[in-house]
Structure 1
């Protein structure tokens, strides 16, 4: 590109560079509008992304009101959870029963006789099973659990009690081994990993070896150091029940209660199960809150402030207005699911109002929950409230939450409202980028052309100035010669 080195044409003092710069700036003026449009489009893309997230949250909230489990929540209470705690699965029928705990579940634990040094070579066998009501020992009766396999522990002549304990712990035999050292030497402490009558164990020498090794077996344990594996025992409404653990999961249908500690005789703990309307109320309130968040964002985006004459980002945007209208229509529609409650107002969900007419207009469809009215509906006709939101198996009688969830799913799907809107906005942003590039190219070409013209003019004017100086010089010389 031609450049101008002189400050003006023909050194006439004209600032050519400034003139060219200003002319190029005029050529680039459309960029200001294009950049503003690009910024607005980018902001819209971000804003619609936010609205999409809010609609997704609304869809999730509606899902909780369409799910069967969302309406089957129950509350479980214990008159004293320090003795007996309890939980219940959703859908459990309301009930109440008394529990007394006579015994907690135990694992078997034993201690061998004292041994010093190596115990001798041989094989120890560990079997899981039950000792019944007798103390395991020389005269006890052990019944092996047929569903388990005996584990053999090979002991070498050089193995100490500590070595044997390590081998037992690595054998996955269902027991854990610990070493105890006292004045008499070392003892092997064994404990079953699980509690319950069937989690007892017996330790014998597989090959009938005697000597020090036999002092580790069940026949040689110290009775005073022994605890028998036992089930937890309780009564439910006076009926005896047992469990291998302190948790009774299959005793009362739908209810799991846990024996925390023994109860005093004649002082049962009462477990109660009731419908948990508070959970349903929380789901309804979350649904209303999710809708209000979407509605508020759309109100802000589509508003027009007469006082300041400012407009929202989506003011006049047909797709945003269409989204707002669709959501409001869904919330205001009659629900055919229930014959008792057909509109949100029937269960205490109404449009928020204010004594100030301008404030009421500004609220723009925001909903509020009349907790007392909702609680009464849930108490008087919980099934009808459920039908209002869920409907039944007939598509024609789908409830409000089902319809709104379907509407939201369509909007969020690939090719749906948000996907299509994003495609349109991204295409607009791409065109804007191309338009900016075109303006820059046009301005650049213009700058080249005008710079070349001014350069040529500068050269021509310089020549004329030189000619003018020469003529003036000749005239001066001529005048002198004729004087």
Structure 2
């Protein structure tokens, strides 16, 4: 806003100083409202921290009401070099004996004799590759072949100029369930072919149909020992893994027994005498969930105690001191953890787990009582935290009660949400009132300055007239 720098010259009054003091008085209500808004912003910020701490406690409570927390198991193997085990679900606790009598393998064949180099040509015609199962006699000699259900044979055309590398690449490009490679040693190069997957049904047969100009070279790449015994030689048979699980025979196309025992993944690594597998409740994981729960409770309890108290030594009050919503929240939380439940059998109060609330309201760290419950009262401990009483919510497990309570206070119509909304609304109203007062003060200052400017002009005129009259009277006195 523009000011008149000469204001007061005509009247002799220090108008700028006078207006400044008047407007300073008018600014005081704005300063008072601003101070209140600053305090409200601090309260809103603290309530944001309260929400965060409550959410953490809610999540910790939810974990203790999740069945998977209580079904967590720890698996061990007496010989991890032979058999490993991992939980994939919720297996029953106990022990298993696993004896591995055979590991799964994929069929692998190789050329009976090497060729000079990878650039050598073999012959021409057509190779047909079919996945399937080889029947064998007592000495493991092939006696017949059965095509794998759902698989189709692939045909590969070999031209007269195709080198060994070309044949390898054509086999791999055909996606017939096998992989071709070339091995080179001091004697030359040999083509090897291996099933992509292990197991009896993933064996394969290769039939050769030499072209009219072939002199029998393509037959070197055939594997059909029943009908053509002079083709490629067998390096490894396609066999299933075989084991005895608690004395019962099991078979698998791979070395992973992922469906033999519900909830367990067992991996066979080598043929071995019986290996003991142990499946026990993971008390360490459950202990951590309980420890996280108590830490989350203590965090919100400490926060509310600090924010609502009055420190007589420093004569300072917490940001939420006297706030009924915060005081009610702290009281309700203490009431829940200080209560009891009959669902946990011999475990009825937090004190039964060594989690007694102290003078400051914080839960203790547990100790031997918690150890005893984890080792011998797991079912009772589970009900103590996550139990649900259909007839009385007040008798629910402690984690269930806290989770439900926090969901309520943080909900859209919950006490914390309503209080935060109320504070924000008050801040918004104050901001609007400050804008109104600023507009009023601006208008007042303009009006006052205009009035003093007019007074200045009038006083200046009268001053000039007074000077003129004085001069005229003086002149008249001289003439007489």
Q: Return closer, same or farther for 1:475/1:48 CA change in 2, 3 Å cut-off.
A: same
Within the candidate set 225, 240, 243, 2:252 is matched to 243
Deviation at residue 237 of structure 1 after TM alignment: 4.5
Q: Return closer, same or farther for 1:11/1:63 CA change in 2, 3 Å cut-off.
A: same
Deviation at residue 109 of structure 1 after TM alignment: 2.6
2:145 match: 142
1:54 match: 53
1:428-452 per-residue CA deviation (whole Å, 9 max, x = no partner) reads 1211110110111111111111111
Where structure 1 has 5 or more consecutive residues not aligned to the other structure, the ranges are 353-359
Q: Return closer, same or farther for 1:335/1:393 CA change in 2, 3 Å cut-off.
A: closer
Look up the SS of the partner of 1:55 in the other structure: helix
Q: Return closer, same or farther for 1:37/1:139 CA change in 2, 3 Å cut-off.
A: same
| Distance in 1 of aligned mates of 2:268 and 2:439 | 82
Look up the SS of the partner of 2:250 in the other structure: strand
Q: Return closer, same or farther for 1:446/1:281 CA change in 2, 3 Å cut-off.
A: same
| Distance in 2 of aligned mates of 1:50 and 1:213 | 79
Q: Return closer, same or farther for 1:442/1:155 CA change in 2, 3 Å cut-off.
A: farther
Q: Return closer, same or farther for 1:460/1:270 CA change in 2, 3 Å cut-off.
A: same
1:79 match: 78
1:232–1:246 Cα contact (<8 Å) kept: yes
1:19 match: 18
| Distance in 2 of aligned mates of 1:259 and 1:188 | 30
Deviation at residue 238 of structure 1 after TM alignment: 4.8
Task: Spell out the pairing of 1:447-462 with structure 2 (5 A cutoff).
Answer: 447-462=445-460
Q: Does 1:201 align with 2:204?
A: yes
1:291-339 per-residue CA deviation (whole Å, 9 max, x = no partner) reads 1111122112111111111111111111111222222212122213233
2:431 match: 433
2:119–2:165 Cα contact (<8 Å) kept: no
Task: Spell out the pairing of 1:8-157 with structure 2 (5 A cutoff).
Answer: 8-10=8-10, 12=12, 14-88=13-87, 91-112=90-111, 114=115, 116=119, 122-132=125-135, 141-155=144-158
| Distance in 2 of aligned mates of 1:480 and 1:192 | 139
Look up the SS of the partner of 2:144 in the other structure: coil
Q: Does 1:260 align with 2:269?
A: yes
Deviation at residue 208 of structure 1 after TM alignment: 8.0
| Distance in 2 of aligned mates of 1:420 and 1:99 | 61
2:89–2:262 Cα contact (<8 Å) kept: no
Look up the SS of the partner of 1:349 in the other structure: coil
2:398 match: 400
2:23–2:441 Cα contact (<8 Å) kept: yes
Task: Spell out the pairing of 1:257-336 with structure 2 (5 A cutoff).
Answer: 257-263=266-272, 267-336=273-342
Q: Return closer, same or farther for 1:78/1:36 CA change in 2, 3 Å cut-off.
A: same
Deviation at residue 287 of structure 1 after TM alignment: 1.1
1:336–1:391 Cα contact (<8 Å) kept: no
1:342 match: 348
With the length of structure 2 as denominator, give the TM-score of the two structures. 0.86
With the length of structure 1 as denominator, give the TM-score of the two structures. 0.86
1:196–1:229 Cα contact (<8 Å) kept: yes
Decide which moves more: 369-378 or 391-400: 391-400
Q: Return closer, same or farther for 1:169/1:34 CA change in 2, 3 Å cut-off.
A: farther
1:134–1:141 Cα contact (<8 Å) kept: no
2:227 match: none
Q: How many residues align?
A: 466
Q: Return closer, same or farther for 1:464/1:351 CA change in 2, 3 Å cut-off.
A: same
Q: Does 1:229 align with 2:238?
A: yes
Deviation at residue 378 of structure 1 after TM alignment: 2.8
| Distance in 1 of aligned mates of 2:41 and 2:158 | 76
| Distance in 2 of aligned mates of 1:124 and 1:288 | 70
Deviation at residue 417 of structure 1 after TM alignment: 2.9
Task: Spell out the pairing of 1:167-186 with structure 2 (5 A cutoff).
Answer: 167-180=170-183
1:8–1:16 Cα contact (<8 Å) kept: yes
2:131–2:201 Cα contact (<8 Å) kept: yes
